[in-house]
Structure 1
Amino acid sequence: MSIDEIKKMLRILIEYENSKIIHTIPGFIRLIYCKESRCFQVTTLINGEISFYYDVDTASQALYTILSTIKRD
Protein backbone atom coordinates (compact mmCIF):
# COMPACT_ATOMS: atom_id res chain seq x y z
CA MET A 1 0.00 0.00 0.00
CA SER A 2 1.46 3.37 -0.98
CA ILE A 3 1.67 6.33 1.36
CA ASP A 4 -0.87 8.18 -0.81
CA GLU A 5 -3.35 5.31 -0.44
CA ILE A 6 -2.84 5.36 3.32
CA LYS A 7 -3.43 9.13 3.46
CA LYS A 8 -6.63 8.70 1.45
CA MET A 9 -7.82 6.01 3.87
CA LEU A 10 -7.05 8.25 6.86
CA ARG A 11 -8.90 11.20 5.34
CA ILE A 12 -11.93 8.98 4.82
CA LEU A 13 -11.85 8.04 8.51
CA ILE A 14 -11.93 11.74 9.40
CA GLU A 15 -14.71 12.41 6.91
CA TYR A 16 -16.86 9.69 8.49
CA GLU A 17 -15.91 10.54 12.07
CA ASN A 18 -19.49 10.01 13.25
CA SER A 19 -19.27 6.35 12.23
CA LYS A 20 -17.17 3.73 13.93
CA ILE A 21 -14.85 2.39 11.24
CA ILE A 22 -12.13 -0.04 12.25
CA HIS A 23 -9.40 -1.20 9.88
CA THR A 24 -7.79 -4.42 11.04
CA ILE A 25 -5.03 -6.66 9.81
CA PRO A 26 -5.87 -9.75 11.88
CA GLY A 27 -3.19 -10.62 14.41
CA PHE A 28 -1.18 -7.53 13.49
CA ILE A 29 -2.72 -4.03 13.83
CA ARG A 30 -6.01 -2.20 14.35
CA LEU A 31 -6.66 1.39 13.26
CA ILE A 32 -9.48 3.69 14.35
CA TYR A 33 -10.12 7.44 14.34
CA CYS A 34 -11.31 8.90 17.63
CA LYS A 35 -13.58 11.89 17.10
CA GLU A 36 -13.36 13.08 20.72
CA SER A 37 -9.57 13.33 20.82
CA ARG A 38 -9.22 13.93 17.07
CA CYS A 39 -6.52 11.33 16.69
CA PHE A 40 -5.75 8.09 14.95
CA GLN A 41 -5.27 5.17 17.28
CA VAL A 42 -3.08 2.30 16.10
CA THR A 43 -3.05 -0.81 18.26
CA THR A 44 -0.37 -3.42 17.69
CA LEU A 45 -2.27 -6.63 18.32
CA ILE A 46 0.86 -8.68 18.96
CA ASN A 47 1.73 -6.82 22.18
CA GLY A 48 -1.29 -4.56 22.77
CA GLU A 49 0.77 -1.37 22.38
CA ILE A 50 -1.35 1.66 21.46
CA SER A 51 0.05 4.64 19.57
CA PHE A 52 -1.74 7.93 18.94
CA TYR A 53 -1.23 10.17 15.91
CA TYR A 54 -2.80 13.60 15.64
CA ASP A 55 -2.35 14.36 11.96
CA VAL A 56 -2.64 12.53 8.65
CA ASP A 57 1.02 12.91 7.67
CA THR A 58 2.43 11.46 10.89
CA ALA A 59 -0.14 8.66 10.99
CA SER A 60 0.39 7.75 7.35
CA GLN A 61 4.17 7.59 7.78
CA ALA A 62 3.83 5.38 10.87
CA LEU A 63 1.37 3.06 9.12
CA TYR A 64 3.54 2.90 6.01
CA THR A 65 6.52 1.89 8.15
CA ILE A 66 4.47 -0.74 9.99
CA LEU A 67 2.94 -2.15 6.82
CA SER A 68 6.30 -2.32 5.06
CA THR A 69 7.47 -4.82 7.69
CA ILE A 70 4.83 -7.35 6.65
CA LYS A 71 6.46 -10.07 4.59
CA ARG A 72 4.74 -10.80 1.35
CA ASP A 73 4.42 -14.38 0.18
Structure 2
Amino acid sequence: MSITEIKKMLSTLIQYEDSTITHVIPGLIELVYSKGTQSFQLTTLVDGHISPYYDINSASEALYIILNPEGL
Protein backbone atom coordinates (compact mmCIF):
# COMPACT_ATOMS: atom_id res chain seq x y z
CA MET A 1 0.00 0.00 0.00
CA SER A 2 1.45 3.36 -1.00
CA ILE A 3 1.72 6.38 1.29
CA THR A 4 -0.87 8.16 -0.91
CA GLU A 5 -3.36 5.31 -0.48
CA ILE A 6 -2.79 5.31 3.28
CA LYS A 7 -3.39 9.07 3.51
CA LYS A 8 -6.61 8.71 1.51
CA MET A 9 -7.80 5.95 3.88
CA LEU A 10 -7.00 8.10 6.92
CA SER A 11 -8.83 11.09 5.42
CA THR A 12 -11.88 8.88 4.93
CA LEU A 13 -11.80 7.92 8.61
CA ILE A 14 -11.90 11.61 9.57
CA GLN A 15 -14.80 12.27 7.17
CA TYR A 16 -16.82 9.54 8.89
CA GLU A 17 -15.78 10.47 12.43
CA ASP A 18 -19.34 10.03 13.72
CA SER A 19 -19.17 6.35 12.76
CA THR A 20 -16.91 3.69 14.20
CA ILE A 21 -14.79 2.27 11.40
CA THR A 22 -12.07 -0.18 12.33
CA HIS A 23 -9.40 -1.38 9.92
CA VAL A 24 -7.81 -4.66 11.00
CA ILE A 25 -4.93 -6.62 9.59
CA PRO A 26 -5.33 -9.90 11.51
CA GLY A 27 -2.41 -10.70 13.76
CA LEU A 28 -0.77 -7.34 13.05
CA ILE A 29 -2.64 -4.08 13.69
CA GLU A 30 -5.98 -2.42 14.34
CA LEU A 31 -6.66 1.19 13.33
CA VAL A 32 -9.53 3.47 14.36
CA TYR A 33 -10.11 7.23 14.43
CA SER A 34 -11.26 8.65 17.76
CA LYS A 35 -13.46 11.72 17.43
CA GLY A 36 -13.11 12.39 21.17
CA THR A 37 -9.32 12.70 21.11
CA GLN A 38 -9.14 13.64 17.42
CA SER A 39 -6.47 11.03 16.92
CA PHE A 40 -5.79 7.82 15.07
CA GLN A 41 -5.40 4.91 17.48
CA LEU A 42 -3.04 2.25 16.16
CA THR A 43 -3.07 -0.95 18.22
CA THR A 44 -0.39 -3.59 17.75
CA LEU A 45 -2.29 -6.85 18.12
CA VAL A 46 0.72 -8.89 19.24
CA ASP A 47 1.12 -6.94 22.49
CA GLY A 48 -1.97 -4.70 22.67
CA HIS A 49 0.14 -1.52 22.63
CA ILE A 50 -1.89 1.53 21.56
CA SER A 51 -0.14 4.43 19.81
CA PRO A 52 -2.03 7.66 19.19
CA TYR A 53 -1.26 9.80 16.14
CA TYR A 54 -2.71 13.30 15.99
CA ASP A 55 -2.25 14.05 12.29
CA ILE A 56 -2.48 12.23 8.98
CA ASN A 57 1.22 12.57 8.16
CA SER A 58 2.54 10.90 11.30
CA ALA A 59 -0.14 8.18 11.20
CA SER A 60 0.50 7.44 7.53
CA GLU A 61 4.27 7.21 8.08
CA ALA A 62 3.79 4.76 10.96
CA LEU A 63 1.38 2.62 8.93
CA TYR A 64 3.64 2.67 5.89
CA ILE A 65 6.57 1.38 7.94
CA ILE A 66 4.44 -1.39 9.45
CA LEU A 67 2.95 -2.42 6.09
CA ASN A 68 6.20 -2.18 4.13
CA PRO A 69 8.99 -3.43 6.41
CA GLU A 70 11.08 -4.58 3.46
CA GLY A 71 11.38 -0.96 2.29
CA LEU A 72 13.47 0.07 5.32
Q: Percent identity?
A: 59
CA drift at 1:53: 0.1
Distance in 2, Cα, partners of 1:31 & 1:69: 18
Aligned to 1:68: 68
Q: How many residues align?
A: 70
Taking structure 2 as the reference length, the TM-score comes to 0.94
CA drift at 1:2: 0.1
Matched, 1:38 2:38: yes
Where do 5+ consecutive residues of structure 2 fail to align? Answer: none
Matched, 1:52 2:52: yes
Distance in 1, Cα, partners of 2:40 & 2:56: 8
Taking structure 1 as the reference length, the TM-score comes to 0.93
Where do 5+ consecutive residues of structure 1 fail to align? Answer: none
Two-structure CA RMSD over aligned residues (Å): 1.0
